[in-house]
Amino acid sequence: MIPSGYRSDETRTRPGWLLLGPAFVAAIAYVDPGNVAANVSAGAQFGFLLVWVIVAANAMACLVQYLSAKLGLVSGMSLPEAVGSRMRRPTRLAYWLQAELVAMATDLAEVVGGAIALYLLFDLPLLVGGVITGVVSLLLLIIKDRRGQGMFERVITGLLAVIAVGFLASLVVSAPPVGEVAGGLVPRFAGTESVLIAAAMLGATVMPHAVYLHSALVRDRHGHPDAGPARRRLLRVTKWDVGIAMVIAGAVNLSMVLVAATNLQGRNLTESIEGAHAAVGDTLGSTVALLFAIGLLASGLASSSVGAYAGAMIMQGLLHKNIPLLVRRLVTLLPALVILAIGVDPSRALVLSQVVLSFGIPFALIPLIRLTGDRALMGEDTNHRVTTALGWLVAALISALNVVLIYLTVAG
């Protein structure tokens, strides 16, 4: 069934840049507060050691997000719908449960990040900031429901621009040494903690809920065109959409690591976002620190709404039920508020939430690669053998890192 917003003549005649947008919504997941915590921790603790993780993860994200978008465009189904249609009910419910836990971990990072930003900007208690973040994200979802996906995309893209300015400003004020940045491109670790941070960075960059969501975003925006010129054009536009969005997200993530490595390494308390904000103010000035906090706030608000949107889409695709928006929002919001209420260190909770996310990645990637390589489903747009091989390599690398992480954590 083609969504009501799809018009084939519009696809043929509109300039390509007007068809961009879905990937920018998905890209918000790649610059959420969990990224800030993981990337700042990486730079402050290990300097430029883990720069390669950001670069590698962003390259993986480009491939993964394009495959997700292609699945939605070609099959007319979201990834959860396509997976659910091939599973018996008990298996489908188990699969939904792990996806729901990932959604909760996602919301934890986003709501806690928004709460920290409101604390930094207005000195609000973290619990109050978490409630405000949850309410604002709900309002953004209401905009999507009442004004359509196009308006939602424009609002989220605007917030992405705020995030980019907020974090790239630090890099402009204090440029990192080129030689040390180049040295950070060599893959290596330095003990168990560096593996933990790397897994957090990976979980924050290749986000499971963004993999699930992108297929629905593209399907709902462009519909399900038949094979032919219109579909081929949309697939080309989608490549540009994903490429541009991921370059922006990658630049923001890399800037976080580089700024922390350049200005915060060796300073006390920079493992926390609050400490990093204070250190940025001390070293780069109050204006840059203000932009840092504003970028963090935009990140928390935008990513929380996108995460809740993904959660609703996952639930609908796997449980075949439409859950009221308010109920859907509370399901993943409450655990985050509990964390804030009981006084768990918020920055540590952010990093650990990204580790949880990294364990959910194979459950999204493996079905995605199998489905986009299925000629019966994808027809002439089935993955090339090289693409499929790269997809399996990405899934294997991520899974191997998770196994190593478990071993080192238990052994340590």
Which CATH number goes with the domain that contains 27? 1.20.1740.10
| Count of domains forming the chain | 1
Burial class (CB in 10 A: 0-12, 13-18, 19+), 368: buried
Q: What is the pLDDT of residue 204?
A: 64
pLDDT value, residue 160: 93
Asked if residue 409 has pLDDT above 60, the reply is no
Give domain status of residue 6, yes or no: no
> Residue 201 and residue 52: Cα distance in Å, rounded?
11
- Residue 317's closest CA among 79, 116, 57? 79
| Tens digit of each residue's pLDDT (9 = 90 or more) over 134-150 | 999 889 888 888 888 88
CA 334-337-338 angle, 5° bins = 85
Tell me, yes or no, whether 1 lies in a domain. no
Most confident of 30-39, 372-381, 395-404: 372-381
- C-alpha distances in angstroms, 307 versus 35, 100, 109, 134, 344? 14, 11, 10, 11, 22
More confident residue, 194 or 270: 194
Q: Which domain holds residue 46?
A: 19-411
Residues 195/404, Cβ–Cβ less than 8 Å? yes
Task: Copy the structure tokens of residue 27.
Answer: 């890209």
User: Which pLDDT does position 378 carry in this prediction?
Assistant: 95
Choice among 80-84, 158-162, 288-292, 342-346 with the minimum mean pLDDT: 342-346
Indicate whether 350 pLDDT > 50.
yes
Is the Cβ–Cβ distance between 199 and 404 less than 8 Å?
A: no
Higher pLDDT, 100 or 286: 286
Instruction: Compute the chain's Rg from CA coordinates.
Output: 20
User: What's the pLDDT score for residue 270?
Assistant: 58
d(CA 25, CA 6): 18
In a domain, residue 3? The reply is: no
Query: Does 359 fall in a domain?
Result: yes
How much is the pLDDT for 198?
Answer: 84
- Whether 2 has a pLDDT exceeding 50, the answer reads no
Rounded distance between C-alpha atoms, residue 360 and residue 402, angstroms: 10
Query: Count of residues for the chain?
Result: 412
86 phi and psi angles, rounded to 5 deg:
-110, 10
Q: How confident is the model at residue 268 (pLDDT cuts 50, 70, 90)?
A: low
Output the pTM of the full model: 0.89
Q: What digits encode the pLDDT tens for the residues 162-212?
A: 999 999 988 888 889 999 999 999 999 888 788 878 877 876 677 888 999
The Cα-based distances of 78 to 223, 242, 381 in angstroms read 11, 17, 16
Is 11 within the bounds of a domain? no
| Ramachandran region, residue 47 (left: φ > 0; alpha: ψ -120 to 50; beta: rest) | left
pLDDT at residue number 46: 93
Domain presence at residue 155: yes
Nearest to residue 83, comparing CAs of 409, 314, 407?
314
Mean pLDDT of the chain: 86
Q: Is residue 10 part of a domain?
A: no
What one-character DSSP code corresponds to residue 384? P
**CB of 115 within 8 A of CB of 340?**
yes
Range in 15-24, 196-205, 229-238 the model is least confident about: 196-205
60: CB partners within 8 A, 6+ apart? 205, 206, 394, 397, 398
Q: What is the dihedral of CA 329, 330, 336, 341, to 10 degrees?
A: 140
pLDDT at 301 over 80: yes
The verdict on residue 141 lying in a domain is: yes
What is the rounded CA–CA span in Å between residue 35 and residue 14? 35
